[in-house]
């Protein structure tokens, strides 16, 4: 009889301890989840402020592009915003509604910068190399991550190279017009290098063949990192790409 009472007390104690641990685990999970959501909310607000500031900056520069335009500085600022968008995508997932809205707006900001670059090139008699990169994260592009790594490597190698990346599955009128203008479709990834469209994966040498001499002469990394093995490591390490924008950085 005493043994039964002892066993009952023992089971009750074990149950109570297990329940307490379970409750504490839920409480801790809720705390960290709430903290994470709060941080992501703050990041979302920061992205909105950054994009508004960049948009106004582009509008101001458009009045006197030859005097005010700095392709490297503007590219780095745009990349900084893209990095934040990439981080949110890694935390929330690619189908999150808030994220999709931010991505769509950021894509429009990229297109505004692209148009500003074309305008500055024409008015200021300068050659600015531009790459539009279309990728998919729906599982239908086996080489998109590799291409993102190559593009990031090239942006590090040539700091004046401007690379804009777009999720081909995002629908908005501006992107639809760009896709129609350059006949974007078919095999992914798709690269539009200085207004010429290419389907399928391209390595760094193939991409560099479409760039101007002035861009190729602008080097920011030692010659030693141009080997194929280095590029393969870059493709693996730069998981933020398929580049939102590789203004390195840079998906």
Q: What is the pLDDT of residues 180-227, one digit of tens each?
A: 999 999 999 999 999 999 999 999 999 999 998 777 776 654 444 444
Does the residue 172 lie in any domain?
Answer: yes
Q: What is the mean pLDDT of the chain?
A: 73
**20 pLDDT band (50/70/90 cuts)?**
low
The domain total for the chain is 1
What pTM was estimated for this model as a whole? Answer: 0.67
Does the residue 72 lie in any domain?
Answer: yes
Residue 196's domain comprises 2-237
Please determine, for residue 238, whether its predicted confidence score (pLDDT) is greater than 60.
Answer: no
Lowest-confidence region among 82-91, 121-130, 215-224: 215-224
Does the residue 244 lie in any domain?
Answer: no
Does the residue 92 lie in any domain?
Answer: yes
Does the residue 14 lie in any domain?
Answer: yes
Give the CATH number for residue 27: 3.40.30.10
Does the residue 250 lie in any domain?
Answer: no
| pLDDT average, residue stretch 72-89 | 74
How far apart are the C-alpha atoms of 129 and 141, rounded to whole Å? 25
**136 pLDDT band (50/70/90 cuts)?**
very high
Give the Å distances, CA to CA, from 100 to 86, 92, 93, 179. Answer: 11, 10, 10, 19
């Amino acid at each position: 009889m005493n043994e039964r009472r002892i066993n009952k007390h023992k089971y009750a104690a074990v149950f109570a301890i297990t329940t307490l641990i379970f409750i504490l685990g839920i409480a801790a999970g809720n705390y960290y989840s709430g903290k994470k959501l709060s941080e992501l909310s703050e990041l979302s607000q920061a992205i909105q402020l950054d994009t508004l500031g960049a948009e106004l900056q582009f509008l101001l520069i458009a009045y006197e592009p030859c005097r005010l335009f700095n392709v490297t500085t503007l590219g780095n600022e745009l990349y900084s915003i893209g990095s934040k968008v990439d981080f949110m995508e890694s935390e929330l997932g690619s189908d999150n509604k808030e994220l999709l809205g931010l991505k769509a707006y950021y894509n429009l900001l990229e297109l505004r910068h692209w148009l500003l670059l074309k305008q500055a090139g024409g008015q200021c008699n300068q050659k600015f190399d531009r790459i539009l990169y279309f990728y998919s994260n729906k599982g239908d592009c086996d080489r998109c991550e590799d291409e993102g790594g190559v593009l990031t490597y090239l942006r590090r190698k040539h700091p004046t190279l401007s690379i804009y990346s777009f999720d081909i599955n995002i629908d908005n009128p501006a992107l639809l017009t760009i896709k129609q203008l350059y006949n974007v479709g078919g095999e992914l990834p798709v690269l539009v290098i200085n207004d010429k469209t290419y389907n399928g994966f391209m390595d760094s040498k193939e991409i560099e063949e479409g760039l101007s001499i002035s861009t190729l002469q602008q080097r920011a990394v030692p010659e030693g990192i141009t080997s194929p093995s280095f590029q393969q490591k870059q493709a693996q390490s730069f998981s933020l790409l398929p580049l939102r924008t590789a203004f390195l950085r840079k998906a």
